[in-house]
Chains A and B, each alone.
Chain A
Amino acid sequence: MLDGYFRATNEPASFRIALLVPQTLTKATATISDVTQIAASGGYTAVNGATGLTLARSAAGWDAITENTVLNYVTVAMADAKFLSTGKMPATGESARWAAICDAATPNNIIAIIDLEFPRDVPVSGWELTIENTTLVIGII
């Protein structure tokens, strides 16, 4: 974010949302190559560069931004991200435990991690896994 804002470098054209299997993630986790996504099946398209569920880099993708001058932080609210299943999602392998907000570079840089709290899957076709009401909190240094 510092690079994009101050240097006009590495500004994403859009963002991607990846679903990750249970694994240990840290603040040093850097790119999509460092993590394991759920199997690309049942309606899930693995994030890889320009592919994967897209989140617009606009007020459509991030529908609210708030400056809190009392507690000194800024919040950015993400639009709901919906994964529509075309069968059991994932069809094989482990369920989704984390979601990762990535840019669209190759490999995708991981910008933020969302804790899904427990392993999630979608059992039948036509159901959705929706990540809603997600807000990034950015503090002040």
Chain B
Amino acid sequence: MGFMTNRGVKAMANTYFRADATDTPTTFRMALVTSAVVPTVDTALLSELTQIATGNGYTTVTSGAGLAVERSSVGFDTITQDDTNNRAFVQIKDLTWTASGTFPASGNPARYAVLVDDEASPQVIAVFDLGNDVTLVNGQPLILQNYSITGTN
């Protein structure tokens, strides 16, 4: 469903092994981006991508704004170690945007959700393909449910 970017793995390793202050986030945020630029494992910064238009239920993600995902067991509500398949995965809490008018307010629809940190220029940590272009009508929710990030060895 999703993948971590190279930059995300680096930030994670830099936090875990080196307690690097810059790479250790206070919180994460989830942004919605269009297919104008397709995110890959090499995507490093949110500024490389095109967010959907702000308004009508979507707040543009910056280092201090946008839908927050707490860096805690609230934001990431489940973590599982799978010794059979040699992997672990952490699940993100369910996230909802509710349209208050046509969503997006203008421009291209949402195609990807990207998890970013809260650096001044947010780094892209993980990418999730929504499967198709997503537009909403007034009152309709977009729910990301049971999205998870997998690590293996």
| From B10, B72, B89, B152, contact of A7 by CB (8 A) | B72
A3 touching B90 in the complex, CB below 8 Å, given contacts A65-B14, A74-B10, A76-B13: yes
**Complex alpha-carbon distance, A73 and B150, angstroms:** 15
A2 touching B18 in the complex, CB below 8 Å, given contacts A7-B79, A74-B10, A140-B6: no
A94, CB-defined interface residue at 8 Å: no
**Complex alpha-carbon distance, A68 and B19, angstroms:** 20
A59, CB-defined interface residue at 8 Å: yes
B153, CB-defined interface residue at 8 Å: yes
B147, CB-defined interface residue at 8 Å: no
**Complex alpha-carbon distance, A140 and B88, angstroms:** 13
Contacts of B149 in A (CB 8 A): 2, 6, 141
A72, CB-defined interface residue at 8 Å: yes
Contact between chains at B3 and A2 (CB < 8 Å): no
**Complex alpha-carbon distance, A58 and B18, angstroms:** 4
| Segment 1-17 of B: residues with Cβ below 8 Å from A | 3-7, 9-17
B151, CB-defined interface residue at 8 Å: yes
Main DSSP-derived SS at the B contact region: mixed
Contact between chains at A67 and B6 (CB < 8 Å): yes
Contact between chains at B152 and A1 (CB < 8 Å): no
Contact between chains at B11 and A58 (CB < 8 Å): no
Q: How far is the CB of A18 from chain B (nearest CB, A)?
A: 17
B20, CB-defined interface residue at 8 Å: yes
Can you name 20 A-B pairs with beta carbons within 8 Å?
A1-B13, A1-B16, A2-B79, A6-B71, A6-B79, A7-B73, A8-B71, A57-B17, A58-B18, A61-B18, A69-B41, A69-B42, A73-B9, A74-B13, A76-B18, A136-B13, A138-B12, A139-B152, A140-B6, A140-B41
